[in-house]
Every structure is written in structure tokens, then in C-alpha cells.
Structure 1
Amino acid sequence: MRRFPTIYNTLMRSNSRAFLRGLGLSEEEIERPHVAVIHTGGEMSPCNITLPAQVTQIKTGVYGAGGFAHETPVVSVSDGLTMAHPGMRFSLISRELIADSVEATMRAHCFDGMIGLGACDKNLPGLMMGMLRVNAPGVFLFGGATLPGRVNREEVTVLDAFEGIGKMIAGEQTREELAEFVEHSIPTGGACAGQFTANTMGMVSEAIGLSPLGLSMVPSVYSARNPYLRDAGRLVMQVIEGKAPLPREIVTRAALENACALVAATGGSTNAALHIPAMAHEAGIDFDIDAVAEVFARTPLIGNLSPGGKYLARDVYEIGGAPVILAELLRGGFIDGSALTVSGQTLAEGLAAVGVADGEIVRPVSDPIAKSGGVTVLKGNLCPDGALVKVAGLKELVFRGPARVFEGESACQKAVEERDYKTGDVIIVRGEGPKGSPGMKEMLGITALLYGQGMGGQVALVTDGRFSGASRGFCIGYASPEAAVGGPIALVRDGDMIEIDARAGVSSITLDVPEDELASRRTSLKIADPARHGGLLEKYAAVVRGANKGAVTHSGAVDTSGDLI
């Protein structure tokens, strides 16, 4: 059913028609279906710098298929530019701002459909969450990754710049050598080149069915993207005409499990385990970290992708893109091919002509890198509601050591910069959860320093905050419940022994302190008032839920049927 005529379809709304004529629309164009192209393009991040040009291709496709497209930019927060300072508190919050902006744009202006286009980390889940919330005809598109740079004839990415800081502190790299990585690690527009959060969620958009198959791994600056973009404009018109499914018809439990399998198979970002439950929440499906854990545990790791492996998004594109990974998982019985996609085909139908894995970038399921996925959910008395660790690339999966406790990221960052920690420490960073931070900061600044100092496997790090998809080392994040709501991580003291076992079938994290001692510590526990922040941080802290539920901020499954009059 059309929505846009609500704006202008009676004599009493002639003023609205005047506004449309003021935009330069003809009478014939006013009568067309109207599509919002909601994107996060802007000049604060290389991730999004190419999006305005891509919007032009999308609008061409919409117009050629009989619709009229309206470009509608929304806010984007750059994870790269907010890392390791207080601005990172706004990164995850921007996911909610984007979803809220999609809802406001679509419901206020009664658009017949939408295309969401984003490239930086929180853009992708935010736009897809908004699509699911309004459940209007929609297509999601990932804006693509940058190409790798070159230093001394070797390919490099922004991860080399992050970790180079730690190498410089350790005396393994000069300031001049670091400057080379800084200059050359992001040579083009586009998202970070590895299987970090943006590329992980780009692949998720295909696995879950909201994006056309084959698009996500096409590099941002390749003209090969243009046919996909124009086709997306035509595709959204088919959805408007009722010839293809709506977002909530696509995102079923099977589709969510397919998305989780893709993350596990590629050693993708731990952030996906936060975003997929949040997307499920918008669709009215109960799908928490326990559901994610079940899929992660049964899915083999087959993608040899950075940071746990060797290869980049460009390399995946050259062997056929995300469909090659999905087809391999389908052949092995690890995903459900009956799930619908935005094209109207089932996933199996869309993958029918896809070739086999190359064996190096993507391994066959019969010969995986590991029998269980590259991301694991841990549980135990330290994190009874769960925590996440990326095991892809880890040589040792068991760690036991004394706690070294820090109240917040900045205190830990300072200590790591000064190498004020010991081999064997379990570094605890607390007060950085959704409510406590507020905003759940990423810890790439710390993990990159540790890895650059050669200590990635010599210490463990546990936090109620998040990790970047680029983080590597023994890094356990998203610890739930968080310290700000009295979670056990708030009770840890320096010297407490902590044991982490990320082996398949175990997946535990234990605080080796007697229960009576923990009960005694709880009596003196003081929790800060989030109202001290004011503004957006205060509002977010007041409503956000736990990381194990996706850090969502409302009751879910909005009913928009009353918008059609």
C-alpha cells in the first residue's frame, strides 16, 4: 500500500503539493512512488566520503523504475576518529540516533520506501534497525571498503597504524616508520579494509537478506558497484509494488541464525553479537546472546580474514564476495537456504550459481581453520549474562592470572602507554558498559598498544566495554551485567585470580573468589548516578538495556500500521 499520497491526496493538503512543486517536481513526478535514500555520507571519515556519488547511482535506478528518490543524510560518528578519547561514548549511541532518524524520516514524510546506505561501523546496524522498525519497503546497501595501502611493497591497513604506536613505544619501530603507515594505510575512500565491524556487518546484510547478494565486498571506489546501486533502485520499486518481501518478512529467526553463522565463519567483529540481537529486537524476535552463542559454537571458521587471518575485503571480492562464503556454509548445512531475501528469492536460490571456495582466502567446510567459529561467548561467575572473545588467530585459548583493575579506559590507557603492567596480568577495565560509560566505548587504543608491544598473548583484557572489530589478542568484552548495574565485574580487586577458558565446549570465565567474600564486597559497592552527564549521555544511560540484549533503548517491534490513512 502506498504511503506518500497521505501528504498530498486531498484538497486540504494542497499546501503540501506546493512544497513538492517547490522542490522542482512535476505533477507526474509527484504521483510517482517516493523513496527516501537515507545515507550517512559526509566529510568526517574516509568510510563515508564516497557515499554521495553512490547516492546518484541509486537515484538513477529509482527514477528509471518509475519512482522519485529523495536524498536524506543522517548523522554518522567515526569510530576511527573517536577512538581512545571521550568521544567514543557517542559511537554506539549513534546507532540509536541513526535508527531513530530513519523512523522520524519515514514516518513523518510517509515515504513509500527507503534505501539505506552506510559504511562506517554503527551506520550499518543503525540503518537496518531503522528499516526493521518502520517495516516499509526497503533495501540496505553497504558503501564498501577502502583498498589496502603499501609500505615497503607490502600491503598495509589502518590496523598497522594503530599497532604501530605500541611498536614505537616498545622501541621496535621509529616515529618516521610509523609516519609511513599513517600516510599510506588508507589510500582511498571506504571503510576499514579488514574483517572489522563494517565489513562484518556488510556481509551480515547479505546473509540476513536485506541487501542484494554480491555487493558488500565490492571496494568502495570500484565502478563495479554502480550496477548494483542502480539495481537497488529498481529493486525497492518492486518491493513497493508488492513483488518482493518487507523487512520483517525477511528477518526471521532463520535469517538471524544465518547472520550469526556468517560472523562465526569469518572470524568477524564481536560487535556483531551486539547488533544482531538489536536488529532482532526491532523485528519483535527474542534473540539474545545465548541464541548467538549456539550458532557461533556450531559453525566452523573458514574465512582467513584480517585481523585474525591474512586477507582483506578486496581479496574476498576477487573470489566472488560474501556469496562464496554463504554458499560454502549452505553446502555444509550450516545456514538455512529457505530464508527469504529482499530480491524475493530464497537464499538458496540466490546462491545456486555460486562457485566453490578458493581454499586459501575461504576454506571449504570439510577443511576448516577451526571446527567452531572465530567468535566465542563466555559465561561464568564473572560474567553470568555472558561476554565475548574473538578466538580467530589466538594460539592459546586458556589463560589464568591475577587481576589488575582500572576504573575506566583512560586510566588503563595511561598504564599501558607506560608499560605499567606485568606479563600474566588479567587487565580489568570497568565502568565502560552501556550505562556506565555511558555509550560502551571500544578499547582498540588499548588492545593495539598491547599487541604492538608484543604482549597480545601475554596478558588478557576483560571489560564491560566493547572492542573494535580490528582488536586482536586475548580480549574479552561486553561483560554482562556491567559494573554500573552491580555486575560481578564491579567486585573484582587487584590480585584476584581469574581463569578464562575459551575452548570449544567449555567457554567459561571464572572469578576465583569465595562467594561469601564477594557478598561482603557487595555491601560496600557504590554505583555512580548517570544523571551527572546531562544531555544525550544522560538520556541514553536512563533507557539503555544490557549488552546481552543488544544494548537496545526501547520496547521493540514498533507498530506503524496506523501511519497508513
Structure 2
Amino acid sequence: MKRRSGTLTGDPGQANWVERTAARTMLRAVRFNDEDFTKPLVALAVPYTNGTPCNDHIRTLGDLLQAELEAIGAKVIVFGTPVVSDGISMGTEAMKYSLVSREVIADAIEVMTEGYQVDAVVTLSGCDKTIPAALMPIARNDLIGLTLYGGSIRPGHHGGRDLNIVSAFEGIGAYSAGKIDAEELCQIECHACPGAGSCGGMYTANTMAAAIEALGMSVPGGSSNMAVEADNQLSNDKQGDLRRTATTLMTLLQRGISARQIMTHKAFENALTLVWALGGSTNAVLHLLAIAREADVPLTLKEMADFTAKVPLLGNFKPYGRYLMNDLHPLGGIPMVMKHLLGAGLLHGDCLTVTGKTLAENLASAPDLPAGQDVVFPVSSPYAAAGRHIRMLFGSLAPEGCVLKQSGKNLQTMRGTARVFEREEEALQAILGGKITAGDIVVIRYEGPQGGPGMREMLSPSAALMGAGLGDRVALLTDGRFSGGTHGIMIGHISPEAQVGGALALVEEGDQIEINLDSETLNLLVEEAVLAQRREDWQAPVSKARRGVLAKYARLVSSASSGAVTS
């Protein structure tokens, strides 16, 4: 399948040869030759920045991948995309651009693939939003292509224990609570992230990379191969991923296999199963809804909830568990986990993948689940029973739904007193100032897709609660979202959001809120007549984003319950 139909060829007998003379002239100036015009034209999206370890090595990956593709017969057009670091922007106004960047990156890739009418595309990714963004335009326009994850960071070490980026956020809470001193906090800061690669736990980056592998849109094993070796040089495994990605793309081109032949409803069920089994990030809910929409695959929050209720939690990973991705890698990585799930009847083995083979065929040579380890538990005796990881709640406070990350904890139905904050910073100051006590339910609103705008992650206040020892006694509710590094009693994505008049906008200080896990509901315990009067008196706050990217996003973005997309 060649979308250009030979329009750049140097053969005068080809259709549109004369009309494409100017295009060939421009390309000759950037070192194309006669032979290049007969090759498949491949776009290579390289989201490089030295502003975050997640993507610091991506330019190297891009250079090597370009060389691999051109060595086996393609001609490559390389371009960059924006990258917003969640870890660096967290807790600031900059975080408003994080989820927005997913849409900007996806649109940028579409602009380049369509603007150059390429035959195929490979997209690289690293930090959280670059991963779904790398796949969304491939699904949107049913392109021939695949994506490759840059890999996970290795853990830092200090004081005889492993560290990662969440150690720094929780260190802030521990310092504010007087549990550690300034020198210890500084040592955590200096040692938590030792080199290139995305955050090491089962946070959003590793979650989404694994989900896309299960979806069939990246080479087997690529999501659990480490970014770099201990000396911070590109890992041998990741170099192998580059070679396999290049040959896989050429196979897709030769066989004419485009994205939507792979990204079926059953493939999305495989991705959801793996995310829930691993104990992945709640952001996967948002991103998989968005990718499914781009692929024209019908998928709803309620359907997600019903399907995943049967999936047990197997992974013992941070933030709630003990291990990081580098602990899974030597055991056989994501292919090992998927082979175990397939053997238990929890995956669809007949789904086509980018290798041109089925999922079952890809997994035939994967190692079995090793005995004598507690990184991944067997389905027969899981880390936690089915229905005890990510749960979708509905109810009077969330008619369109919301997302709770239980992560195997024995949470009970909880009633508490609402402590209401209009933005993240206000809540964080109250927590650090010791103004939040056991039994409180912290409400942070006007942080949704429209209200933020941008749906910030609430890692700073949630980590502060954990650091202060309140993680199992205080709930945090928001129309914003949470980092994959968040744990505790956290409920996000509340929809409809406060900015559009959702019930969250009507909560007042001192109201009683119930988190009912028996009925899977989130309810505001206020009489309807009182709520009706509050609704009549309510007015939407005027957005501070009056122009630019955030203003455009606020005008276009959909509800979190449908993936917070702008297309």
C-alpha cells in the first residue's frame, strides 16, 4: 500500500510526474537522489528534549532508527514534537499544558504525515503524554505505522533503598510533617533519578507503553526494555527494539496492514486487561478512551468498568507495591505477563499485531511466569482479587462517572466532611499547614479539562497526604486527574466537571460526602431542594485562559468521561 502512488518517482511514465517536479526539486536540496524517489517515504516523529530524563535519549534513538530504516530501503523524513514533563510541571501552572500537549503532539504528527503524504510512520515516545499522542494520529487516519517507547529509567539509590521520582514528592510531605530533615530531602532529590528513561514504577509512561504493546501497535518486549544501561548508554535491548521496529514497519508496508486492522475492540480489551493486571495508572482510562475514539472503536467508561471487573491484580509495583519496571524486565518483561494472562484465558490471542502475526503467535516463545518471585503474582493466587484496582464510580456527585484507584487496598465505604478548594495550590497549602485531619474529604475543583483548563494532575497534594501519614484516612476528590505515581484514597476525572455545572461545583465546606464501594457510587449527601437552590445561584467562573493554546483547548475539549479529546 503506497499512498503516494509513485508521484515522486523519477520515471516520466508515472502519473503526476510533471506536477511533482517542484516537490522533487525541493527534496534534492535536502540530499534526496533519483533512487530515493522510488523508496517508501517514512515519517519519523522524534519527541526529543533535554528538559526531562524521559526524552533525553530520544534524539539518539531517532538518529539510529533513521539509519536502520534507510539501510533496509526506506527514505525518512524526521521531525520533532513538543514534550511537557509531568514531573517538572507538577504542582504549577505549567501542568495545565501537560494533557493539552497530548492533543498538540497528535495534531503535529498528523500535520507532518499528511502534509508530506508519507507511505508510513514511526513515532517515538518517552514522557507520559507523548505515548498516547504517538498513537492517536496513526489511529485517526488509519496509517501504516507503529510506535516505539524509549524505555524506563533505572532506579536511584540512597540510604540502602531504591528511589524514584515519587520519592521526591513524598519526601516533601515527610519533610513538612517533620519526619525527615532538609538534608535528607536534598539527598532524595539528588539521587532519585540517575539518568535517561521514563519514571520507573507502574506509573503512566510504563502503563501506557505496556497497553500499546498489548494493543498490538508496538514490537513485543519494547515496553519493558530499559532505556539505558547502568553507565547511561543506550541499552542493548533498546537498540534491538530499534532494529525490530524498522523491519516490522517494512513488513507492514509490504503487506498493506494499516492501524485499524490491528486496533479492534478485542485489541482494546487486551490493553485494558493488561493495565488492570499490572496495576496501572488511572490515566490509562483517559488515554485508552481517547485512542479508541480516534480508531472509531466504540468504548465507554461503563463498558470499561464492566469488562475489567473480572481482571485480578497481579503486579506488585510502585506506587502501591514494591517493585519497578527494571525488576520485571529480567523475568521476561511484558511478554511474560501477557503469556500468563493468555494461558488463563484473559487475553484474545487471535488479535493481529504489527508483526503481522497474532498476539498468541508473538507470545509463543515468551518465558513462563517464574516461580519463587513476588513481582508478578499468578492468576490462581493474585496480589488482589478481581475488581480491586481501578474502579469507576457513578452517583449524584459523578453522574457521568469518575475513577478510583484502589490498587488492592481494603477500602471500605467512607463518609466524610468536605473540605473545598478551588485549585490545587490552595489544597496543598492546607495539607502542608496541618489543616487537614483524619476523616476529611478534600475536594479540589475547577481543575477539569475545561475548568483548568488542562486537567492537572494532583500528585503534589496526594503525595503530601501520604508523606504526612494521612493516605489511608483522608480522601481526595477532583475533576482533575492523578499521576500514575499517586496512591491513597484518590478519586479523579469526576464528570461532569465543575466548570460546566457538574455537582462538584455545588459542594460547600462541611457537606457530607459518601464513597460507597458496595454500590460503586460517589454521592453528595445534601437534600435535592438545597442543591436546586445552589444550582440556581451558581455561575461558571470566568476562565483565565482568554487566548492561546489553553483557550482553544477549553473551547474544544470533551468530558473526561469520553477521553478529554479535541477531535
TM-score when scaled to structure 2?
0.95
Matched, 1:49 2:56: yes
Specify the alignment match of 1:114 in structure 2: 121
Distance of 1:266 and 1:201 partners within structure 2:
11
> SS at 1:71's partner residue?
strand
Contact 1:61 1:231 in 2 (8 A): no
- Among 533, 536, 543, the alignment partner of 2:546 is 533
Contact 2:210 2:334 in 1 (8 A): yes
Give the deviation of 1:102 after TM superposition.
1.0
Runs of 4+ displaced beyond 3 Å: 4-9, 529-532
Specify the alignment match of 2:380 in structure 1: 366
**1:308 partner amino acid:** Y
> SS at 1:301's partner residue?
coil
Distance of 1:295 and 1:23 partners within structure 2:
51
Give the deviation of 1:346 after TM superposition.
1.0
TM-score when scaled to structure 1?
0.95
Matched, 1:288 2:288: no
The gaps in structure 2 that reach 5 residues or longer are: 10-15, 229-234
Distance of 2:460 and 2:28 partners within structure 1:
51
**1:190 partner amino acid:** G
Specify the alignment match of 1:75 in structure 2: 82
Deviates more, 1:193-202 or 1:231-240: 231-240
Matched, 1:542 2:555: yes
- Among 328, 348, 364, the alignment partner of 1:336 is 348
> SS at 2:236's partner residue?
coil
> SS at 1:226's partner residue?
helix
Specify the alignment match of 1:231 in structure 2: 244
Figure out how many residues of one structure are paired with residues of the other and give that number. 551
Specify the alignment match of 2:271 in structure 1: 259
Specify the alignment match of 2:290 in structure 1: 278
Matched, 1:318 2:318: no
Give the deviation of 1:362 after TM superposition.
0.8
> SS at 2:19's partner residue?
helix
Specify the alignment match of 1:492 in structure 2: 507
- Among 150, 158, 173, the alignment partner of 2:180 is 173
- Among 58, 68, 72, the alignment partner of 1:61 is 68
Give the deviation of 1:532 after TM superposition.
4.8
1:31-430 correspondence runs (5 A):
31-221=38-228, 222-242=235-255, 245-358=257-370, 359-373=373-387, 374-430=389-445
The gaps in structure 1 that reach 5 residues or longer are: 555-565
Specify the alignment match of 1:10 in structure 2: 17
**2:498 partner amino acid:** A
Distance of 1:532 and 1:451 partners within structure 2:
32
Give the deviation of 1:75 after TM superposition.
0.8
Structure 1 vs Structure 2: percent identity of aligned residues? 39
Deviations 1:99-139 (A, max 9, x none): 10111000000111110100100000011101111211101
Distance of 2:212 and 2:124 partners within structure 1:
11
Distance of 1:147 and 1:397 partners within structure 2:
35
Distance of 2:226 and 2:217 partners within structure 1:
19
Deviates more, 1:3-12 or 1:430-439: 3-12
Specify the alignment match of 1:509 in structure 2: 522
Distance of 1:491 and 1:253 partners within structure 2:
37
Contact 2:126 2:149 in 1 (8 A): yes
Give the deviation of 1:393 after TM superposition.
4.9
Give the deviation of 1:176 after TM superposition.
0.5
- Among 439, 456, 461, the alignment partner of 2:476 is 461
Contact 1:60 1:230 in 2 (8 A): no
Specify the alignment match of 2:13 in structure 1: none
Give the deviation of 1:315 after TM superposition.
0.9
Distance of 1:190 and 1:479 partners within structure 2:
31
Q: Aligned in 2, Cα 1:7/1:537: closer, same or farther, shift over 3 Å?
A: farther
Distance of 2:517 and 2:168 partners within structure 1:
29
> SS at 1:241's partner residue?
helix
Contact 1:64 1:234 in 2 (8 A): no
Distance of 1:294 and 1:343 partners within structure 2:
30
